[in-house]
């Protein structure tokens, strides 16, 4: 509910997700009545979930099953978008889903973006990722990876952007997997999949995007979004 240019952050996320031409519907999954009431007040759909979830994927899975029960429709792909990503664009969403539509052997994708500063690379709030030559994730960390300590003049500084499409059945399977050591150590749930030998396709995007984890992040996003072209497209 943090204010961004006169609108709660979740309002920006919801309205921008609705601009995607590929999503059939957008729901906000929350355990907070204030958030649910606000989403409904702007014409959105909210699904109340338990307040005991530790991972966003668990909340997403609960919401999925409730939505399917309410609508009588079985989903095929579920896109998990974090509520602290107010600069998400419809193009980012569509790009994240594309590999699942193109390759039946891909069960999950993540977006990634380049970091522009050493400060961002060292920020533990940003989840970093290193990828192989085919853009499959090799490892996720909150530490600055790859390391600059060996003196390389240029290194790829990539961050995870939390727009994560799952195949429906894979999401439910994922949530039955026990947490893994590296997932817990890094506090990055995608490492659970890597530790189980499951590939995660990463999709590069060049939009400038920032999540909101701190008051400084909020101030930065308020400044960055003043000239955002998508604001004019909100309904």
Residue 229 lies in a domain: no
Residue 230 lies in a domain: no
User: What's the pLDDT tens digit per position in 62-76?
Assistant: 999 999 999 999 999
Residue 10 lies in a domain: yes
User: What's the pLDDT tens digit per position in 114-127?
Assistant: 998 999 999 998 99
Residues in the chain: 235
Q: Across-strand partners of 163?
A: 81
Give residue 170's pLDDT.
95
Residue 9 lies in a domain: yes
**Over residues 86-113, mean pLDDT:** 95
Q: Mark 78-109 as b/e (b = at least 16 C-beta within 10 Å).
A: bbbbebbbbbbbbebbebbbbbbeeeeebbbb
What pTM, to 2 d.p., does this model score? 0.87
Give residue 59's pLDDT.
92
Residue 94 lies in a domain: yes
Give residue 5's pLDDT.
95
Residue 218 lies in a domain: no
Burial class (CB in 10 A: 0-12, 13-18, 19+), 33: exposed
As for how many domains the chain has, the answer is 1
Range of the domain at 113: 3-209
Distance CA(95)–CA(21), nearest Å, equals 11
Residue 159 lies in a domain: yes
Q: What is the CATH number of the domain that holds 30?
A: 3.90.550.10
Q: What is the pLDDT of the chain when averaged over all its residues?
A: 93
Residue 220 lies in a domain: no
């Amino acid at each position: 509910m943090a204010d961004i240019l006169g609108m709660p952050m979740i309002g920006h996320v919801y309205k921008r997700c609705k601009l995607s031409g590929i999503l059939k519907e957008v729901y906000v999954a929350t355990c907070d009545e204030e958030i649910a009431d606000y989403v409904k007040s702007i014409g959105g759909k909210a699904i109340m979930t338990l307040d005991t979830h530790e991972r966003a994927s668990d909340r997403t899975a609960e919401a999925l099953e409730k939505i399917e029960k309410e609508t009588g429709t079985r989903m095929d792909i579920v896109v998990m978008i974090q509520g602290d990503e107010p600069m998400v664009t419809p193009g980012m969403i569509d790009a994240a889903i594309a590999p699942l539509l193109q390759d039946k052997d891909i069960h999950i994708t993540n977006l990634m973006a380049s970091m522009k500063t050493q400060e961002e690379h060292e920020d533990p709030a940003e989840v970093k990722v290193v990828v192989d030559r085919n853009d499959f994730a090799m490892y996720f960390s909150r530490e600055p990876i790859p390391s600059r300590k060996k003196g390389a003049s240029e290194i790829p500084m990539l961050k995870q952007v939390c727009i994560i499409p799952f195949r429906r059945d894979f999401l439910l399977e994922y949530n039955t997997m026990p947490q893994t050591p590296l997932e817990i150590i890094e506090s990055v749930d995608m490492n659970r999949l890597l530790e189980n030998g499951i590939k995660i396709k990463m999709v590069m995007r060049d939009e400038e995007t920032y999540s909101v984890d701190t008051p400084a992040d909020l101030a930065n996003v308020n400044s960055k979004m003043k000239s955002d072209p998508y604001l004019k497209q909100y309904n």
